[in-house]
Amino acid sequence: MKAIEENQRRKNTTFKPPGLPDFENGADTLGNLVAGVAHELNTPLGNTRIVASLLSEQFREFAAAFEAGKLRRSQMDGFLNRGREAVELLERSSARAADLVGHFKQVAVDQSSARRRSFDLRRTVEEMLVTLRLMFKRTKHQIELDIPAGLEMDSYPGPLEQVITNLVANSLTHGFVGIEQGCIELQAQAVGETQVVLRCVDNGAGIPTETLHRLFEPFFTSRLGQGGSGLGLYIAYNLVTGVLGGTIEVESSPGHGATFILTLPRTAPDR
């Protein structure tokens, strides 16, 4: 695929995440995360409260005018318009809050309950494509596989699917902004007897060099207020370095797509 070759010829900037301060320290991270989620929830919940109390005030006025038989047409129109706006805002804010909680639940997912089994990497990723392709509906973007048959793994397909889903979702929502027909390729190859390298390559917008080192931090998002919670890559990082026992890094330069590189042991560590 063209995007891949281009990507390989290019001098990309690479970032390997280990060693960030209080990033791998479990207790600290969880504490920060809880504080972060509480902080993020504050805005949508605060909005919800304000709008709900405005709405209740408007209902009171409306009811009073109605009872007194003084309800004018213009008042009625105003009430309906403001009411519609308020309800839309309530919907948006509560959806945002629910989204955040949903993501947070993924972070907290108990990695030890993930099911381990032997599987063929190519066949398993092919099966994932059925679900992944749902995200491509109504777009012209494409996803391709370049994974040799016969790459057996003894690992956790559930967490692996979660990671790939988050990476593909990112290519679609960030990489392909303003691009009509983007392409994502999932490539894998064996490294020695014991490891595989799995790459998720897109030919999208790429990532500014100065933000590359923050990508895996919880709550780092370039779409603040537009539905981004900044937890997708943090979750991916945790699953890859936790239950899957591997590493994840990113290579990108602006305008030239992004590549996420997972190096995974074919036999996941014992837990």
Ligand X SMILES: Nc1ncnc2c1ncn2[C@@H]1O[C@H](COP(=O)(O)OP(=O)(O)OP(=O)(O)O)[C@@H](O)[C@H]1O
Q: Which residues bind ligand X (CB under 6 A)?
A: 103, 166, 170-171, 174-175, 202, 204-205, 207, 215, 220-223, 228-234, 258
Residue type for 148, please?
P
Q: How many angstroms separate the CA atoms of 200 and 186, rounded?
A: 5
Cβ atoms of 226 and 95 closer than 8 Å: no
Cβ at position 245, least distance to ligand X in Å: 21
| 159 vs 196 by CB, closer to Mg ion | 159
Residue showing the smallest CB distance to ligand X in the complex: 232
DSSP 16-84: --TT-TTTS-HHHHHHHHHHHHHHHHHHHHHHHHHHHHHHHHHHHHHHHHHHTT---HHHHHHHHHHHH
State the binding partner of 266 from ligand X, Mg ion, none, CB within 5 to 8 A by kind: none
State the binding partner of 243 from ligand X, Mg ion, none, CB within 5 to 8 A by kind: none
| 62 vs 136 by CB, closer to ligand X | 136
State the binding partner of 164 from Mg ion, ligand X, none, CB within 5 to 8 A by kind: none
Asked if 218 is part of the footprint of Mg ion (rule: CB under 5 A), the reply reads no
**Distances from the Cα of 130 to the Cα of 16, 54, 124, 149, 204, angstroms:** 30, 45, 11, 18, 22
Residues whose CB falls within 8 Å of the CB of residue 270, separated by 6 or more in sequence, listed in order: none
| 203 vs 266 by CB, closer to ligand X | 203
Cβ at position 122, least distance to ligand X in Å: 23
Q: Specify the DSSP class assigned to residue 225.
A: T
Scan for tokens 């897109």, then name that residue. 202
Q: How many angstroms separate the CA atoms of 129 and 152, rounded?
A: 18
Q: How many angstroms separate the CA atoms of 13 and 86, rounded?
A: 46
Cβ at position 42, least distance to ligand X in Å: 17
| 69 vs 178 by CB, closer to Mg ion | 178
3-state secondary structure of 172: helix
Q: Which stretch binds Mg ion (CB under 5 A): 27-35, 98-106, 229-237, 239-247?
A: 229-237
Q: Which stretch binds Mg ion (CB under 5 A): 104-112, 183-191, 224-232, 261-269?
A: 224-232
Q: What number of chain residues touch Mg ion (CB under 5 A)? A: 2
| 156 vs 216 by CB, closer to Mg ion | 216
Cβ atoms of 170 and 232 closer than 8 Å: yes
Cβ at position 105, least distance to ligand X in Å: 12
| 207 vs 239 by CB, closer to ligand X | 207
Beta strands in 73-141 (DSSP E): 117-120
- How many whole angstroms from its chain centre is CA 163? 9
Tokens in use for 17? 């995440």
Residue showing the smallest CB distance to Mg ion in the complex: 232
Residues in 166-185 at the binding interface with Mg ion, rule: CB under 5 A: 170
State the binding partner of 202 from ligand X, Mg ion, none, CB within 5 to 8 A by kind: ligand X
| 93 vs 170 by CB, closer to Mg ion | 170
Residues that bind Mg ion (CB under 5 A): 170, 232
